[in-house]
Amino acid sequence: MGIEMRLPDDYDDRSGLTPTVVSAIVAVTLFVAVILVVVLMMNDDHRGNGNHNTAPSQSAQQTPGPTSPVIVYPEVDEILSGSKLTPDDLDFWDMYPPSESPSATPEPSASPEVVENDPATDGKHTLIQYSNGKEEWVLISPYLPKHEYDFTKLVCQSDLMKYFVDGKQISFVGVDVSKFQDYIDFVKVKKAGIDFVMIRVGARGYGTGQLIVDEYFSDNIKRATDAGLDVGVYFYSQAITEDEAREEANLVIENLGEYQISYPVAFNMELIENDTARTDHLSKTERTAITKAFLDTIAAAGYKTMIYGNKQWLIKEIDMSKLTAYDVWLSQEADIPDYPYKFTMWQYSKSGNIDGIAGYVDLNISFIDYSEK
């Protein structure tokens, strides 16, 4: 055959393959086929040898050889029967912590929760405990004068509270009495260690509003003075107007008459529990004005003045910012008082036992000597 001359377009056949390429593909295919046949033959030969050398596990369990110990592997069901394992316990992937990605950004830690100040420990509040069991933390006013007592210097000796400074007693022990203590032997009271006595002059009825003079007042003040006790007085008020308050004050002044007292005249108004009182409707402003009217009238007559009340009364029921001119007689049964403001006398017990007085009597401590004031 002669050599054919082809143009470039003649090589552009439909198959896209030249004879040389086809030959190469056939050769490679044959080579791969030979390799696969050889591998298959070798695998068959290996399985045959393995069957001759390894016995089934069941045969091994049934006919153990005399010289070779046979290890009996329990079935999976036997392992799991009676076991408390769960599928999660067999998940071994969780045993290994995931590798940390170097590019991972750690999550920011949660900022600590901001806890508001505890009023019990912040030193800015004081606790009011109401007779119905309710409690209330009240903000201490920065404008009212505070007491400066160091209560680590209080000493209680035979139920008598005493206050010492630099090893010297600077306080005075007293009792407050009325007709409810009946006859009192003030000589024995004096010998029992009592320094002063606060005597009730009278009261106004919380229902009728009627004024009364304590039936034991004249006898009590005379015999207490004769026994050498310092004397102060108080009036139990149920006034609902300033005029009634002044009326009560004038009753006190009239009955003091010629008696000389060295301790204050105290104004005593209280909430009536378990009953309805004529003063129930009074507002804080009205109670404050009534208190001031009584004490101003007493002060004008030349007597020392004092407000009696428990912590609730002094903080919640009257406005002490309007009454700072008067001393405070705090009523709080406790080992240590927690009233934060200034006070000069403290009624610390309503169940005292004093020789010369039948039954219980209120016990008081005065932090100043009113006989020298």
Query: Quick one: pLDDT at residue 220?
Result: 98
Q: Which CATH class is domain 149-366?
A: alpha beta
Under 8 Å between Cβ of 238 and 269:
yes
Query: Quick one: pLDDT at residue 33?
Result: 74
Q: Are strands 361-366 and 345-352 parallel, antiparallel or unpaired?
A: antiparallel
pLDDT above 90: residue 109: no
- Please provide the average confidence, as pLDDT, over all residues in the chain: 83
Query: Quick one: pLDDT at residue 27?
Result: 72
Decide which of 30 and 239 is more confident. 239
> Which tens digits make up the pLDDT trace of 313-322?
999 999 999 9
Which tokens is 166 given? 């630099």
Which tokens is 232 given? 């102060």
CA distance linking residue 307 with residue 344, whole number of Å: 10
pLDDT above 90: residue 48: no
Domain spans, the chain: 8-62+70-95, 149-366
Burial class (CB in 10 A: 0-12, 13-18, 19+), 213: middle
Q: Where are the alpha helices (DSSP H) in the chain?
A: 19-53, 57-62, 76-80, 186-191, 217-226, 242-256, 284-300, 311-312
pLDDT above 50: residue 57: no
Average pLDDT of 181-192? 98
| DSSP per residue, 239-285 | -SSHHHHHHHHHHHHHHHTT----SPEEEE--PPSSS--TTTT--HH
CA distance linking residue 128 with residue 320, whole number of Å: 16
